[in-house]
Each structure stands twice: as structure tokens, then as C-alpha cells.
Amino acid sequence: MDQQPKILVLGSLNMDLVVKSLRLPKKGETIMGDSFNTTPGGKGANQAVAASKMGAHSKMIGRVGDDLFGKQLISYLNSQNVGTDSITIDADSHSGIAIINVDSASGENRIIVVSGANMKCGDTELEISKNLISQSDCLMIQLEIPKQISLAASQFAISHGIRAILDPVFTIELDYMDYKKIDIITPNQTEAEFYTGIKIIDTNSAEKASNKFLEWGVNLVVIKMGKDGAFFASSEENGLVKGFKTCVLDTTGAGDAFNAAFAIKISRGSSIPEAIKFGNAAGAIAVSKEGAQEAMPSSKEIIQLLSKN
């Protein structure tokens, strides 16, 4: 098997506008921030960069505006060896942005996304995806572009025997027929509760939520549970893969780091628990650094952490 899996990412590109403060503001409150910076982001682009840093052949499909942010987003992907020739530049839209407020003390954040060109993804991006899926080992999708495009690509990948990983967002609902187009779903605790109505507080509740996803037609469920690790379930097996202790500075790209690492291991034929352990390590390293794409770890860093645990 190729030691460099081919990871295809269909999804969002955003410029993150990051404000750090000693604490997050309350409703109606104005507080002073400590710092401000702009950094490339978007779930799709984060995952594409992470996959590349971890040693995969990574290719990005998405849409940006014909503006400065769009140029910067593509330029950064190129600098990280991510294929960008399938990114559409839309003259009629602005590039997506995310306003991120990070609590300097805990590393927790609050995010507001203005999707811009991301929500203009359509038949063009879907056709590009269909042309490239058969050449890939794994498709990674999110719900920060139109849902029907992501799920159509997922369904196409499944029909061609290619693993497809959906990283959902709890602002986008999924209906009964949507789940039948999903191979692997990787919600965090909040997202899992949003979709299933079950609050994830321990392994038992994670199992109950996972069983709902399976009943609806998903092949594999992986619920990301932060420092506690991740719970997984399929028709054959389930269990909790414990996480790693780390110093948390910024949680912004942790889930994206996990998904990329998990995708790489799945593409290499690893077992589900082994792939999740690799993902947990990637997420632990990502939260110990500031930012999103720049915080994504290399395979070497992940292996070093695993060797110590």
C-alpha cells in the first residue's frame, strides 16, 4: 500500500479573525482583548493542511472570493503542499471568514462564521469531486458548504468503495435520508447531542447516541470527547479510546487534526481503535499550540507522543 495516502478534502476555506481575551464576554458586555491576528482556517482547509503535514498527498476542493483573503488562503495551502488547482475563485462572493474569540486562560473559544463563497459551492465542485474520488483513498467532508453537495460526494465515494468521513456542525440539521449517504460520522459531544437528543456525559450515553446513528444508516460513528478521548461504534464493535493529557492553549483546530490523522490511518488499513488513538494524539498536540492550520502536528510529533504513552 502507498505509504502516502491520497486524501481528498471537499469543504470550507475561511480566514480566521482571532481575538484573544482573558475571558469570554457575557451577553451585552464589552471587554478589552489582549491580541488580534488573522490566520487561515475553515474546517476543510484545516483538514487538508493537517493531512499534508502528516505525510499524505492532500488535495482541496472548495471556493473562495476574488479578494485578498482568497489569495492568502490559496497561497498558504500551496506553502503547505496542498493541491489547490481544484479551488474555484468566485468573483461574485467574498471569501469565508470566522470571528474567533479565544479565552487565554482556558483555551476555549466561541466562533461566528460568515460563509461567503463557501456556500456557493455547487455542481462545479461536485463534478470535480466525482472525477477525483476514484483516485483517492479517503474523502473528507464537512457541513460548512451546502449540505447536498457534501452528501452527494459522500454517496458517490461510498458507491465506489472509498471511505468518506463527515465532520458535522450542529447548526446544520440532517434528515433520515441524509444518514444513508454517510459512511463515517465524527461529531463532538455537542454535535452528537444536537443530532440524537442524547447528552454525552459518559461512555454509556455515547454508546446510546452512537446506536442511534447506526440505526439511521451510518456505518461507523466516532464521537470526539476532548480530553477523555473518543467513543466509536460500528455494527461489529464499539468502545472508548482514551485521550492524552496535555496543556490546552487553543482548541480551535483540535477536531480537524483528529479527523486528518484518523483518515490517514484508515487509508493505511489500520484498525479503528488504532486510527482513533492516532487521532487522539494529533488532537492533543494541536490544542497545545495556538491557531488552527499552523498548529497541525506532523506524523513525527504524533509518533513521539505515542511513544511516551
Tell me how far apart the alpha carbons of residues 59 and 10 are, in angstroms, rounded to a whole number: 9
228 secondary structure, DSSP code: G
Cβ-contact 68, 76 below 8 angstroms: no
CA-CA distance, 50 to 293, in Å (whole number)?
7
Give 17's strand partners.
Answer: 38, 99
Q: 130 Cβ partners below 8 Å, 6+ apart?
A: 153, 156
Interatomic CA distance for residues 302 and 170, integer angstroms = 28
Catalytic residue, candidates 167, 178, 183, 256: 256
Strand partners, 16: 39, 98
Is the separation of the CB atoms in 76 and 46 below 8 Å?
no
178 among known catalytic residues: no
As annotated, the active-site residues are: 256
